[in-house]
Each structure stands twice: as structure tokens, then as C-alpha cells.
Amino acid sequence: MAFDGKTATIGITDFAVRQLTDLVNIDLPKVGKTIQVGQTLGEVESVKAVSDLYAPVSGQITAVNEQLANDLGVLSDDPFGKGWMIKVTVSDPSSLAQLLDRKAYEAHCAEEENHA
């Protein structure tokens, strides 16, 4: 997730894509929907399973990456760029302090891979 002080750009990481493998479908919410932290906001389907996508922040969805439906490969190729999923106007920016930063997330992922 990226945050510019008002808007969060949300997607899934390359670690998540590797875990899911072979993505076949994505279902994202509509622009204008209000979401709450922890709420299911959509799902991504792979040949292995259907996985829920959970909101890391609360706010109103202002944009949805409609291109993903036609090219799920961008989630693998550029998850932190063109592979964004939704943009949200964050209702409480102070809530972002509870999220892991990239370094802490990467350490968590390495730990998960070591236990797999």
C-alpha cells in the first residue's frame, strides 16, 4: 500500500501472488463504496483457491483498476506499480500507524517462507 497523505493505493504484494500462483479471476468493489478496516473488499481466484481481499484502511473507494480483469499477469509483473487494485480516500490516516512498513512486511514474509 502507498499513501500520499490522503489517498491509499492498495494491492497485493509479489509474496501474495507467489503464494496464490496462476491467477484466473479478480473481483473488486465499485467506486464510491465505503470500506472498513478488516472488511472483505473483494477476492482473487487462482487455480488453487479463492482468497478474500481485506481492507487495510477505512475510507471511500475513489478508483478501481479495471485493467486487472483483462490482464492478471500485471499482478505478478508489477504488483507495486501497474498492479494496484483500488484507491481509497482514508478516513483516519492515524490508523496507518498500525500497519507494517515494507521492511517489517518483508521480514514477516521471509519468516513465513522459512516455516513452509
Q: What is the pTM of this model?
A: 0.85
- In tens, the pLDDT along 5-16 reads 899 999 988 878
The domain spans of the chain are 2-115
What mean pLDDT comes out for the span 4-31?
87
Q: Which pLDDT belongs to residue 32?
A: 97
Fold of 2-115: OB fold (Dihydrolipoamide Acetyltransferase, E2P) (2.40.50)
Neighbours of 15 (CB within 10 A): 16
Listed residue (87, 80, 44) closest to 64, CA to CA: 87
- In tens, the pLDDT along 63-103 reads 999 999 889 989 888 988 899 999 999 998 888 888 888 78
58 band by pLDDT with thresholds 50, 70 and 90:
very high
Q: Which pLDDT belongs to residue 89?
A: 96
